[in-house]
Each structure stands twice: as C-alpha cells, then as structure tokens.
A and B are shown apart, each in its own frame.
Chain A
Amino acid sequence: MRTLRNLPGPLPLVAGLVALLVASPLVFVGLQATQAGSDTAHRLLARPVMETLLWHTVALTTVVTAGTLVLGFAAAYLVERTDLPGCRAWTVALAMPLAVPEFVHGYSWVSLFPQVQGYWGAVLVMTSSLYPLVFLPVAATLRHADASTEEVARSLGHGRLAPLWRVTLPLTRPALAGGALLVSLYLLGEYGAFAMLRYTTFATAIYNEFQTSFDMASASLLTLALVGLALLLVALDARAARRGRVVREGTTGRGCALVPLGRWKPVAAGALAAVVGVTLGVPVFALVHWLARGSSTTLPSASIVTETATTLGYALSSAAVATAAAVPVALYSWRRPTRLARTVERAAYLTRALPGIAVALSVVYFAIRYAQPLYQQPSLLVAGYVVLFFPLALTSVRASLAHVPHGVEDVARSLGVHRIVVLSRVTLPLILPGLGAAFAMVTLTASTELTATLLLRPTGTETLATQFWVYTTGLSYGAAAPYAAVMVALSVPAVLMLTRRTLGTRATAPREI
C-alpha cells in the first residue's frame, strides 16, 4: 500500500501551483513592505495607535471567536441531539444570517440603534453574522456521526453533561476548530462592518493607510503584521486539528438517540428564538424599514436586473473554479500529511486574513505585469474572487475528506483501477456534500464582495454590491436598500443549499458510494 501511495503523480504539482497562486498576495505584500525604509518602518510600527490596534484586534478576535463557538455548538447540540421539535426549520433559520453581508448587518444595527458601537457593538454584530460558520459544520458532524457512543455513555449512568463533555465535544472538535479558524481569520480581515461600528482594528488601519497616504509600502508593512497574527491562528488551529481526527460515521442503521429536554424545552426554544430574532430579525427589519422610509427610494430601475445577472454570473463561476481548485490541495494534504503538504494548505488560509484591498491590489500588480490582456476582463475578477474565497472552499472540502476512511482509495487502486477513475468513481462522490457546501459558501460570499470588485471589475460593470456602495456613499440609503434586499434574496438559495448539503438526511439513510 505504501508504494502505491508514494507514487509521484500530478497531484503535488497541481496542489502546489494552486497554493502558489492563492498565496501570491502574500508575495506582493512582502515585496511592497521591503520598499519601506527602516525609518518609515520604525515610525509606523512604533506609533501610539499600534498598541491600541493590537489590543483591539486581539480582544475582538478572542471574544467573538469564543462567542461563535459557544453559540454555534449550543445551537447545533439543541437542534441535533435533543428532542426539540422543528429541527429542520431551526437549522434553516439559524443558518440564514449567512445570507446577510456583514456590512448590511453592521448598517442594520447602526441605523436602528446608533448606540450599538465600539467594542461591544462589534462583538454583537460580528458574533451575529459569523456564528453560522461554526453552527453548520458542527451540526453536520453531529448529524452524520454515530450517536451510539453518546447513548452508551448515558446508559452507563453518566448523566447528561459528562457524555456531552467527554464524547460529543471531542467528536466535533475538527468542526469547531475549522469554524473557529474561519471566524477568526474573517475578523482579522474585515473592514466594512467595523468602519460602520467605529471600531478600529488592524484591517481598518490598513485601509486608512491606503486611503490617506497612497503609499503601498507602509500599508503593506502593517499588512505583514496582520499576517503574523494570522500565522499564529493557523498554528493554533493546526494543534487543535491534530488532537481530534477520526470520526466514526453512522453510515449504517441507527438514528440519533435524542436527549429529552423535559421542562427545559420551552427555555431552549425561547433561547433559539432569541438568537434568530437578534441575528436575522434585526437586519430583515432594517431592510424593510429603509425600503419603506428612505425618501431616495425609487422603484428598482431596469439596471437592477442587469446587475443581478452580472453578480450571479461572477459568483457562480468563481464558486465553480474555487471549488475545483480546492480539491487537489485538500486531497494532497489528506493523502500525504507531510510538513510540506500542511504548509501548502495553511499558506492558502493566510490570504483570508488579508484585507480585501491588499488582495485586490496584488491581483492588479501581477495581472498588469504578467497577464495584461486579461486585465480588467471578467476572468480577472473571477481570479480575484478565487484567491479571496479559496480558503472557504478548502475548509468545506477538507471537512468532508475528514470523514472519508483512510485507505479507501488504496483498496480501489489495488483492484487495478486507474488513479483518475478512483478519483471520479470513489473519492469525489464521497466528498460530494463537501463540494456542494464549498460551492454554496463561495457563491454566497462572492455575490456580496465589494472592495476587490471595485478594483478588479471590467470598467463599466456594476454588481449589486458596487451599486449599493454608490448609493450609500451618496447617503442615499433608501436607494441602496433594494440592492441590499436583492443581495440577501439571492443568497437565500445558497444558504438553503448549504443547510441541505451540509446536513443531508439523518444518518439513518444509506449514503451512496
């Protein structure tokens, strides 16, 4: 078996190439940062605001990540492992905040409750909009995993909490770690929502640097500091992921043993309803409010149809490319868990923490030098989206591979089948739900992307997000509202697909192989 696995194939090459492309913004940032002289570097890094930025960034990332972990896990546990009624409806409602872009989340809160600002405002808004990134993978793990171990633990008289702590939590550790990594990287790079909430982080400072100094060297220097923080997070995730790996899948037979909630049922239902009300109700209410009240509201013009089509076209094509590109990288690190493979995989994640403007400028930089005919062509915007959202695709594909037993490919190949056939007949079908989730996640995020779109789109092309931006910067919130509403509406099918694909049917149904 070992010899079979060690056969060199095109996989490392393809995976390396993808990782190189995806990591190219890091190269760009590094190149630019070296242009800043040591004096500038010292002045920038030693200025008073740095300490504040570092503290803000660390405090926010820690608390929001912890918040999303608690909220995501608790919600997934209630929905998947207890006898709370309406499991499907809850799942959809709890995942739905993903359909609302963060900057719309931010504006919803600020426009309705101006006092929601600063640290606690940022914690509230970011936890609300990001917790589904933990909820969905944890719920999926709980749904597909064999519940018999938990049941056995309970039957041995361990009460409710001990199995939760000693069985369920370790079971979901990879899902929790993956979700936490995504959430925290997201927080490092996020700009729009924090700008609205008046909370300064490294990402907002980097934007300011780009905006006010027109000096890429100094902005890149700050970006490198941010990359340092991201490296730390990726290293933490690596430790967490190493500790929990194998999940026994309930592919045959049995359904979940449901924990009876008893008199706690109304309390649990009330808590979940409150979560949905806060995370989904507020933005929906704000959107309706703008549509009704803003005096600049006009009936959606004919252009909204064009912009919707453009947005969809870009989102779907970049989702397809990003998902396809994630497969070799995920496969490579899954089959060959070497140090190199892991490095390749992790380098891809770092991009997620880069502010959109740094990624976009790097794509501009490389495209204008090495791919000029493509510059400001649709394919370049797709490439930019792929670079930006590749980590989202990679997380989903990697998570689904974690459930595929090692050796299954070897068995197939030992029967004398060609590598490509093994891939298409065995491996890909096994990770199909993961591919679907990756596709939906990228579609969702790409359809609301703003910063990179502004820099990379073909001149004259507008998407829903850029049009929303045009109106909000002109203070025409009413006119902006229809575009926000269409963005949210477009994202709903992706979230539905995500919940369906991620959750599938309960473990009782036989899975196709």
Chain B
Amino acid sequence: MSRVVLRSARRSALLATATAMSLSALALAGCSGSNDSGGASSDKESAGSLKGQTITVYSGQHEQTVSALVKDFQARTGIRANVRSGDEAELANQILTEGPASPADVFFAENPPALTTLENKGLLAKVNAATLAAVPSADSSAQGDWVGVSAREAAFVHNTGKLQAGQVPPTVKDLADATWRGKLGIAPGETDFTPIVTRMIKTQGEAGAKSWLEGLKANSKVYGSNEDLVAAVNRGEVEGGVIDHYYWYRLRDEQGAAHIHSALGYFKQGDPGALVDVSGAAVLSHGKHQAAAQAFLAYLTSKPAQQIIATSESYEYPLAAGVKNAKVSRSLADSGSVAQAGDLGDGKDALQLLQSVGLL
C-alpha cells in the first residue's frame, strides 16, 4: 500500500493531468448516456485527445459480450481496447503477481470480492464521479474504487421431472435439512458461491453458518463449476442446486428448449440465498492510460453499453436506469436489492469456513 502513497511527484503531476482529461472525456460520455442515439459523434470529438490510444482490459466477464462492448466502444471513441479474457480469479492473481508493473489498465470482474481484494491492496484508482453516478450508488464500491456494470441473481435450479415449482425451498437455510440428503449439488469452488456463505455468516453468525454448511455438505454432491452443476441438474443427476441465473439461460441456448428439463426458482426476498450480486470494473492505479481507462468505465455504464448487455447472450441485468433486460423472464425489481459490496468483503471469512468444514 505504501507504494501507492509514495508516488513520485512527477507521477502525481501526470495523474492530475490524466484525471482532468478523463473528467472531460467522462462528461462527454455522460452526455451520450442520456442521449443514446446521437451521442456517438460528440463522443468522437470529445475523446479526440485519447483517440488512437490503446488500453489493456483484463476481463473475467463473458467473452462474447465483452467483445461486442469493445467493438462499440472503439467505434464511438477511437480508443482501442486489447482484451485479455480469462477466469476472474486467475486474472486477479495475475494482477497481484504483476504488481505495479502490470500492463493492465482496466480490470472487469464478475464478482465484488475479486475487486475488493485489489482495492484492499491499493491497486485501484478512484472511478470518476460521473461514471459512479450512472448506476445506483449501492452497486459500486463505497470507496469509489470500482463501478458496478451489471448484475446477476442467485437462483435455485431444479430438475422439473423430480421437483415441482411449489417444492422450491423459500430459503437457502432449508437446504441443510436432512430431507435434502443426496438430492443437491453445489459448486463451492466457484467465486459465485462464496458471497452466499458470507451472507450466511452475517445473518446466522459463524457457528450457525458452519452448521448450515455441514448440513449442506452432507446433502450434496460437489461439482467443480456452475456449468457442470446446471448440466447435472438438467439431466437429473441431482434434483437441484444454487447457481447464478444466467447459467441456466446459457444452457438452454446450447441444448435447445426441447432438451431442457429444469427450471429456475428463487428464494424469498431478504434471504441470504436471494443474492443479487454485481459485476464491476475498475481502473488500475498504475495503468499508463488513466484517462482512456476512465473513458472505458464511463462507456460501460452508458446507455448504449447497458443496452448491449441487456440484449446479449450473457443474460445479465443492466444497472443503468431505464435499461431493462427483456431476455430474462424475471425483472431485477422483483429480485430485491443488490448486495452491498461492503457486506460481501473480500470473502476471506467464508473461505476459511468452507475450508474448516472440508468443502475446500
């Protein structure tokens, strides 16, 4: 952390210039946000100074959607973006290993803990205020180090041959009951699972969360990934499991509706399992293209980008006001509020609990 504080004077001067530049770029991007068809040309003019720059984006997000976003961003701003796609955890580890020498300008992650980890290590720059203002304030880091871009919801996927819609448990706590023995699947190694455990610790206390996890472990088959889990539920290997909603939609796209033998159910609002979780993006504080990176974040939260997210195959919820995802049957408003990043933390407590019960 001291590395960040002890920046040389020259560097801070550079940063100040960059911030000023990015603010102007941002103001323009903000304009385009409110006027979604006519914004493109004004964007191009505004970003004139940044045009021709190339930023490097480390992205743990759905690749097809990111490439559509980047293409549109390039067309609008003239800034090129090199995308490095990978698993968000691998990319976060890579940034941590690279340290200040990282070539990354932007980190686009799937879940808050990956971003919070980098935030805690002092590797992130403040996001411009206009960008933060484009999405509800609860969807971004409280310190303003990263901005929420889209959201996903935890759901209980169940095999329709084995379980009726009415049999979906109202709360994730019920899954630890002995009645579920041998019927569940979980993917504890996924970064999507940790936030639910974190919320169980918050609401049930450490001991309560631990006995819940032990019950869950006794009831469940363990899968390596959510992809494996949703496919296993669909073919009836287990009756149900907790996943993020979009895995089911992607499975439906892949296998065709005729081969789908599963459906999504939801825990009741306010339950630790009824988790709405954001994907966010951040600017790396040591990145060499601060202004262009800020422009990319501004773009991600602008209407055109949110519209791409809303209609993409990633089936995530856009966060900007006035943009809805019509491809997902449930609206974000029905899902309850987004989990506060501060409440999810960096996931360390959940991890230790998962390890102590032997799930990891």
Instruction: Find A372's partner among B84, B101, B254 (CB 8 Å cutoff).
Output: B101
Contact with B along A12-48 (1 / 0, CB 8 A): 0000000000000000000000000000000110011
B257 to chain A, nearest CB (A): 10
Task: Name A340-376 residues within 8 Å CB distance of B.
Answer: 357, 361, 364-365, 368-369, 372, 375-376
Contact with A along B231-259 (1 / 0, CB 8 A): 11001010000000001001101111000
- B360–A114 CB distance below 8 A: no
- A376–B103 CB distance below 8 A: yes
* Complex Cα spacing A213 to B90, Å: 11
B251 surroundings in chain A (CB, below 8 A): 475
Contact with A along B75-107 (1 / 0, CB 8 A): 000000011111101101110111101110000
- A44–B355 CB distance below 8 A: yes
- A454–B360 CB distance below 8 A: no
Q: Knowing A212-B347, A368-B97 touch, does A476 contact B227 (C-beta < 8 A)?
A: no
Instruction: Find B256's partner among A295, A451, A454 (CB 8 Å cutoff).
Output: A295
* Complex Cα spacing A455 to B85, Å: 9
- A454–B86 CB distance below 8 A: yes
A108 to chain B, nearest CB (A): 14
Q: Which of A47, A204, A214, A369 has the most CB of B within 10 A?
A: A214
Q: Which residue of B lies closest to A118 (CB)?
A: B221
- A460–B84 CB distance below 8 A: yes
Q: Knowing A196-B224, A211-B87 touch, does A474 contact B232 (C-beta < 8 A)?
A: no
B56 surroundings in chain A (CB, below 8 A): 459
B227 surroundings in chain A (CB, below 8 A): 472-473, 475
- B250–A114 CB distance below 8 A: no
Task: Name B301-360 residues within 8 Å CB distance of A.
Answer: 313, 346-348, 351-352, 354-360
Instruction: Find B62's partner among A205, A216, A364, A474 (CB 8 Å cutoff).
Output: A474
- B89–A214 CB distance below 8 A: yes
B253 surroundings in chain A (CB, below 8 A): 295-296, 475-476
Residue A294, interface by CB 8 Å:
yes
A373 to chain B, nearest CB (A): 11
Residue B222, interface by CB 8 Å:
yes
- B358–A48 CB distance below 8 A: yes
A198 surroundings in chain B (CB, below 8 A): 221-224, 228
Residue A477, interface by CB 8 Å:
yes
Instruction: Find A49's partner among B87, B247, B355 (CB 8 Å cutoff).
Output: B355
Residue A208, interface by CB 8 Å:
yes
B258 to chain A, nearest CB (A): 9
Instruction: Find A459's partner among B82, B228, B359 (CB 8 Å cutoff).
Output: B82
A409 surroundings in chain B (CB, below 8 A): none
Residue A119, interface by CB 8 Å:
no
Contact with B along A439-473 (1 / 0, CB 8 A): 00000000000010011000110000010001011
B191 surroundings in chain A (CB, below 8 A): 211-212
Q: A interface, by DSSP: helix, strand, loop or mixed?
A: helix
Q: Which residue of A lies closest to B58 (CB)?
A: A459
- A210–B313 CB distance below 8 A: no
- A474–B93 CB distance below 8 A: no
Instruction: Find A211's partner among B89, B97, B223 (CB 8 Å cutoff).
Output: B89
- A214–B93 CB distance below 8 A: yes
Q: Knowing A214-B346, A361-B97, A454-B87 touch, does A477 contact B103 (C-beta < 8 A)?
A: no
- B358–A47 CB distance below 8 A: yes
B50 surroundings in chain A (CB, below 8 A): none
* Complex Cα spacing A368 to B355, Å: 32
Residue B271, interface by CB 8 Å:
no
Contact with B along A135-150 (1 / 0, CB 8 A): 0000000000000000
Q: Which of B103, B228, B230 has the most CB of A within 10 A?
A: B228
A204 surroundings in chain B (CB, below 8 A): 189, 224
B117 to chain A, nearest CB (A): 5
A484 to chain B, nearest CB (A): 15
B319 to chain A, nearest CB (A): 21
- A114–B232 CB distance below 8 A: yes
Residue B63, interface by CB 8 Å:
yes
- B360–A209 CB distance below 8 A: yes
- A455–B360 CB distance below 8 A: no
- B82–A460 CB distance below 8 A: yes
A110 surroundings in chain B (CB, below 8 A): 228
B96 surroundings in chain A (CB, below 8 A): 214, 216
* Complex Cα spacing A193 to B189, Å: 15
* Complex Cα spacing A466 to B227, Å: 17
Residue A252, interface by CB 8 Å:
no
Task: Name A195-250 residues within 8 Å CB distance of B.
Answer: 195-196, 198, 200, 204-205, 207-214, 216
Residue A52, interface by CB 8 Å:
yes
B352 surroundings in chain A (CB, below 8 A): 43
Residue A478, interface by CB 8 Å:
yes
Residue B46, interface by CB 8 Å:
no
- A478–B254 CB distance below 8 A: yes
A103 to chain B, nearest CB (A): 11
B223 surroundings in chain A (CB, below 8 A): 198
Residue B285, interface by CB 8 Å:
no
B358 surroundings in chain A (CB, below 8 A): 47-49, 52
Q: Which of B94, B103, B232, B355 has the most CB of A within 10 A?
A: B355
Residue B64, interface by CB 8 Å:
yes
B84 surroundings in chain A (CB, below 8 A): 459-460
* Complex Cα spacing A454 to B228, Å: 21
Instruction: Find A214's partner among B62, B114, B354 (CB 8 Å cutoff).
Output: B114
Residue B194, interface by CB 8 Å:
yes
A368 surroundings in chain B (CB, below 8 A): 97-99, 101-102
Q: Which residue of B lies closest to A49 (CB)?
A: B358
Q: Knowing A210-B89, A214-B89, A214-B92 touch, does A195 contact B225 (C-beta < 8 A)?
A: yes
- B237–A114 CB distance below 8 A: yes
* Complex Cα spacing A114 to B312, Å: 30
Q: Knowing A195-B224, A295-B253, A476-B254 touch, does A470 contact B83 (C-beta < 8 A)?
A: no
Q: Which A-B residue pairs are the 6 nearest by beta carbons? A: A195-B224, A211-B89, A48-B358, A208-B189, A475-B250, A49-B358
Given A195-B228, A460-B82, 9 extra CB contacts under 8 A = A49-B355, A114-B232, A208-B360, A212-B189, A212-B360, A214-B113, A216-B96, A357-B93, A475-B253
Residues of A in contact with B (beta carbons under 8 Å apart): 43-44, 47-49, 52, 110, 114, 194-196, 198, 200, 204-205, 207-214, 216, 294-296, 357, 361, 364-365, 368-369, 372, 375-376, 451, 454-455, 459-460, 466, 470, 472-478
